[in-house]
Structure 1
């Protein structure tokens, strides 16, 4: 059934009788228990209560129905009666009260800036990227995020990333995190057993993350880590690579952009109230509804290569891919990374408090991505692993310097990540996601390549020195990496 979902959703109307499941997700993380008849013309989006634990227990669950619920929520236009708006709360990740009530529901600064997920994620299809007009303003993110200015001292302006292939990215990140943490355990054991310092080179799926040195007393020297947080969690989402999971990304975005507050973070367990934002709507988004959004995003088809190009374009793209690798771009924008398991479990085992975790539920919801038609079409390596064609490495890099500061022009850091450091952008789909850069203010691929500095300086200089014909072949190659419509 999950494969049938991506072949095309069966039409369902709101006039149909909705089935409501009204148990709790966990004793401490309860969904609102509501059971009412909903008129087919009701303007609300969040009418269907989905119980997380019930979904996880139903091994015969029609996964496509869960995904379809997620799509309906993602595309819906949230109303105040859904809980849209947060008059007394900020966009901060940590539940934070405003210094003064918001004068307007929508203000385009610290939010609200939208009443639908799809209003930003829509190019070229729902779930995709967004134009400059969909840019958002974000603060450092943790707290004190109450601002009404676009002054770069207080906020960073960001463009919209595409979500296609996001489920595979999260699975890759989980496996890489597990591998790095196993290496940490190994070096600690080596130091303890030998009574001397031990150092290990951290590597996951061929990507180097620096070195880690352990002492016999169990202390760790993390000064030589590279491109990853101290906890060795690979965080694939956000332009800075600061979110470990689609679930965390979703909970953050619901509050920031729409004023919809997930009970798993903003509910009574953490804040002492079921209406933290003071909009008189309680228990706005339950764990089951967040899971529906996660399921829909996690099963979005990965971008592909366009195969029906004119012959002259295809020839140029083939040549350009070779040039792309020769000048060093593929060192960070790796064409593929191998994935061992295609079982997507929600919640993510590496999420932090404030986002649903495996210990909060009886059992995770499982999505078998191997049943998706588009996943079955992906190549395998000699070990039978799925090769994810992301053109990325899920690692952070310094990509700006004094000579090339366009990609390092923010004044605020984010989640302890320096302002000139960003996660490698996955290039799959880049032919469909202009404009470019974290602010969406670079209009061509040539511009974004020439803007690279820092660790990308050598590759950028190699590109700059190419004859125009060779540059054009690289552009032809990148333009062939598209999001399927």
Structure 2
């Protein structure tokens, strides 16, 4: 990367972790308060644990046509500036889809791909009779490539949309001069990109959940629009474009991984997870055809985006896959083994072939997937492996007597790890929840701290005309999340009191308790 790109990348990285406040334009309808809230695993720009999941909504009419729900089809959890404290479902909603965020690693390389490289693998009518019928999605006449359903072509749109739908932050499109200055032209899919740097490691036309329209966005709060400057948007888009693709490992001394690469092909994984696509810099090893495939009714979510129907999803790139669990569009799979077994529709044959393998062959395939980058960044939570202990006096540090005793310090570190670890579905997470770990609500500014406003707990109930309060039978907490396959709990019409509670910091709690 050039020195100028490096500086832009660093500014964009800071924008990704910037917490917005209502005074800066956050809201009026909100899920999160900063970009990295949904893109933090294993590092900024990645995917997210389940506590950052969200929901899309829409209405399927009797004739099969589909209307996205309000606010770009995104169901929000908080309201500011006169909006309902807990926004509810729009009337008539009959489709609710669960989403786990996807990583941005390597999107600049994907943006550079010529349309012909994607269309070369399309076989919409299954002319070759292999049971695989990938087809492209389209965005404003261009081949889509980003999003769970390949519903957008523009990284700029893929950023502006969620900024508006999840944060309530408005923006104007980048100027033509700014688009031309981006590391990869944002408005010209298939165009030759400029220098692609990697300074760090690793809506379709009619449904704009993930792609903002090419027009200024506005909202109903009192902060003047646009709430994000064009300079900040430029830095944020550039940061995404410059995020490095995970680097695959050299398998020359990994016999298990080499065997797994063969098994990957033998069971038909590469029918959709195409190992490479031809870009302007050569072959790009993303392990995806970026096309839509019917994944069967068990995985179908009912959402229609562009030409994508409810059971169709874009083939997810596999580079760095080992470090971005959970898997599938709604995070229902905790492990790669589970994700493979859950493939249906066009992927059913490969899933069946995988299940029929001997255990050693399945192990080899998983080893191969793990070799596609990111193995060194695997973590059970968000705390990096080998994270240092804060020095005495720094936020999040243990008491001095603990620092002085190796045995106590080892116990403290083990406790910090448990505090950070994500709870899994197999460990009893859900069915309704707000956080999936202790750290989920206690990480600001360090593990053990408080949390931003987008993790406030919602308390609710009913106050009658006499002023008496009645709590719901299930308790006063109105959870904002549910595990895959379970609908989020919505308030009933008679509930008229909604209050948010910020989680308190527990730093120094031992001294207070003592």
TM range (shorter): 0.5 to 0.7
Distance, in Å, in 2 between the alignment partners of 1:246 and 1:231 is: 14
| Aligned equivalent of 2:188 | none
1:390-401 equivalences under 5 Å are 390-401=286-297
Q: Give RMSD over aligned pairs.
A: 3.1
Structure 2 gap ranges (5+): 59-66, 76-86, 126-132, 175-207, 378-514
- SS of 1:208's equivalent in the other structure is coil
* 1:285 counterpart = 2:228: yes
- Runs of 4+ with deviation above 6 angstroms: none
| Aligned equivalent of 2:267 | 327
Distance, in Å, in 2 between the alignment partners of 1:74 and 1:156 is: 26
Higher normalized contact order (CA 8 Å, seq sep 6+, divided by chain length): 1
| Aligned equivalent of 1:77 | 19
Distance, in Å, in 2 between the alignment partners of 1:457 and 1:150 is: 34
- Structure 2 CA distance for partners of 1:85 and 1:233, relative to 1, 3 Å: same
Among 138, 141, 149, the alignment partner of 1:240 is 149
Among 96, 112, 121, the alignment partner of 1:207 is 121
| Aligned equivalent of 2:94 | 153
1:361-440 equivalences under 5 Å are 385-401=281-297, 405=298, 407-408=299-300, 410-440=301-331
Distance, in Å, in 1 between the alignment partners of 2:356 and 2:259 is: 17
Structure 1 residues 429-473: Cα deviation after superposition (integer angstroms, max 9, x where no partner):
111011111111211111111111111122222112111111111
- Structure 2 CA distance for partners of 1:439 and 1:326, relative to 1, 3 Å: same
| Aligned equivalent of 2:30 | 112
1:118-137 equivalences under 5 Å are 118-137=36-55
- Structure 2 CA distance for partners of 1:79 and 1:398, relative to 1, 3 Å: same
* 1:304 counterpart = 2:222: no
- SS of 2:330's equivalent in the other structure is coil
- Structure 2 CA distance for partners of 1:329 and 1:150, relative to 1, 3 Å: farther
Distance, in Å, in 1 between the alignment partners of 2:339 and 2:370 is: 13
* 1:261 counterpart = 2:170: yes
* 1:445 counterpart = 2:336: yes
| Aligned equivalent of 1:339 | 279
> How does the TM-score come out when normalised to structure 1?
0.58
Q: CA deviation at 1:294?
A: 0.9
Distance, in Å, in 1 between the alignment partners of 2:303 and 2:218 is: 30
Distance, in Å, in 1 between the alignment partners of 2:140 and 2:89 is: 33
Structure 1 residues 149-184: Cα deviation after superposition (integer angstroms, max 9, x where no partner):
579834321001011101001111xx11xx4xxxxx
- SS of 1:304's equivalent in the other structure is coil
* Native 8 Å contact 1:81 1:281 kept in 2: no
- SS of 2:138's equivalent in the other structure is coil
- SS of 1:137's equivalent in the other structure is strand
Distance, in Å, in 1 between the alignment partners of 2:286 and 2:271 is: 13
* Native 8 Å contact 1:400 1:420 kept in 2: yes
Structure 1 gap ranges (5+): 5-61, 87-110, 180-202, 212-223, 341-384
1:22-101 equivalences under 5 Å are 62-86=4-28
Distance, in Å, in 1 between the alignment partners of 2:134 and 2:275 is: 24
